[in-house]
Amino acid sequence: MAEHSELQYTAEHEWVQVDGDTATVGITAYAADKLGDVVFVELPAVGSDVAGGTVVGEIESTKSVGELFAPVTGTIAETNDAVVESPELVNSDPFGAGWLLKVTFTELPPLLSYAEYSALIGE
């Protein structure tokens, strides 16, 4: 997994790693910390089309339920079955084993840099 500064971010506290026409998506450590202990993850079906900015899944914790947004428009290429089976990976390794989905994108909207995201969350 890339260094955090090499990733791009959304205002919805997701990280995006772009490789060719594929975007790997997860939630940031900040979001995982704010959610608390994640107990359930619902991800979209592989092959489904998603539109950037729309809700595509759900992350439930002991404190609250958070929505997972698609940061890009495209088709779900892969989902991380490991986080469905072991949701705690979202907390323990949000930038690695806790990734959520991969999207083959047709449109890549402007995303935040590490510095912009850090400023957003006040770090």
pLDDT of residue 123: 85
Alpha-carbon gap, residue 30 to 12, rounded angstroms = 11
The CATH class for the domain spanning 4-107 reads: mainly beta
Taking only the tens place, the pLDDT of each residue in 6-38 is 899 999 999 999 999 999 999 999 999 999 999
Question: Would you call 14 helix, strand, or coil by DSSP?
Answer: strand
User: What CA–CA distance (Å, rounded) separates 78 from 101?
Assistant: 6
Instruction: Write the single-letter amino acid at 108.
Output: L
- The upper half-sphere exposure of residue 38, i.e. CA atoms within 13 Å in the direction of its Cβ, equals 28
pTM of the predicted model, to two decimals? 0.93
Mean pLDDT of the chain: 94
**Domain extent listing, the chain:** 4-107
Average pLDDT over residues 70-84: 97
| Residue range 102-111: mean pLDDT, rounded | 94
